[in-house]
Copies of this chain bind each other. A is one copy, B any other.
Amino acid sequence: MTEPLFVIPLWADLIAVGLGGVQGALFASGFTGQRRLDLLGVTIIGIVVGMGGGLIRDLLLNTTLNTLQNNWYLLTAILAALVGMLLAGLFQRLNRLIIGLDAVVIGLFGAFGTSKALAVGLPLVPAVFVGVCAAVGGGILRDVIMGLPVAIMHVGSLYAVAAGAGCLVLAVAHALGAPLVAAAIVGGSVTTIIRLLAVMFDISLPEQRRLYRRKVAVETAAIPIVKP
């Protein structure tokens, strides 16, 4: 059940990039004060969130970077970022919209990433890994570039886990013989739904545990350096 040629349809890819761009701009528009971004900053965030996942996916697969092979990806991401920025004030429930869009975007990127990885012949586990990186990579890049703590690293509602579950469903379904497109649709939906449920019901992953608990205080609230 290996496809001779795997092509994500351009329109689907552009929708994901556009949603990512809007989502990135909405996120960026929430910043005020000294972290306030200029027009360029908002555009960069839009590009990073919209295209970062695809770039990371293709780097990990060591293939030609798909999003740089035509003009539309960048134009879509930039346009989406500007629209997102201009309309940010309109949305009454900014936060819900950002989270909703985000759930759809990670579903799409995760499904595209795992599908492409399987199509180029990666085994199951790395294919799921590539999908998760594609899903959350844009957000990680965004946080690093903005100097924020990387969101997915800290205790919070299931995010990368949602991506991982969806990508795993996709890869297992494919391994069991399901056609890649069907598996991708199911997998992407699983990611989006888990993410939305996790936010709605405030489910989060258990913190790290040890068999023997001991006080080992690297106490990082105080992360030294930084002492003015």
Q: A90 contacts B221, CB within 8 Å?
A: no
Nearest CB on B from A174, distance (A): 15
Q: B207 contacts A36, CB within 8 Å?
A: yes
Task: Known contacts A40-B152, A62-B62, A125-B75; decide if A221 and B68 are in contact (CB<8 Å).
Answer: no
Q: A69 contacts B126, CB within 8 Å?
A: yes
Q: How far is the CA of A89 from the CA of B213 in the complex (A)?
A: 5
Chain B residue at smallest Cβ distance from A29: B208
Query: How often does this chain occur in the complex, in copies?
Result: 3
Task: Known contacts A150-B147, A226-B149; decide if A85 and B39 are in contact (CB<8 Å).
Answer: no
- A selection of 10 A-B contacts at a CB cut-off of 8 Å is A32-B215, A37-B155, A40-B152, A41-B208, A74-B125, A89-B212, A146-B153, A219-B227, A221-B227, A225-B225
Interface residues on A, range: 35 or more
Q: A38 contacts B210, CB within 8 Å?
A: no
Q: B228 contacts A225, CB within 8 Å?
A: no
Q: How far is the CA of A94 from the CA of B45 in the complex (A)?
A: 31
A176 lies within 8 A of chain B by Cβ: no
Nearest CB on B from A47, distance (A): 8
Q: B153 contacts A41, CB within 8 Å?
A: yes
Nearest CB on B from A170, distance (A): 16
Q: B210 contacts A154, CB within 8 Å?
A: no
Q: A29 contacts B220, CB within 8 Å?
A: no
Q: B90 contacts A212, CB within 8 Å?
A: yes
A149's partner among B126, B210, B214, B223 (CB-CB below 8 A) is B223
A216's partner among B30, B216, B227 (CB-CB below 8 A) is B30
Chain B residue at smallest Cβ distance from A78: B125
What are the interface flags for A140-165 relative to B under an 8 Å C-beta threshold, 1 for contact and 0 otherwise? Answer: 10001111111011111000110000
What are the interface flags for A185-228 relative to B under an 8 Å C-beta threshold, 1 for contact and 0 otherwise? Answer: 00000000000000000001111111111111111111111111
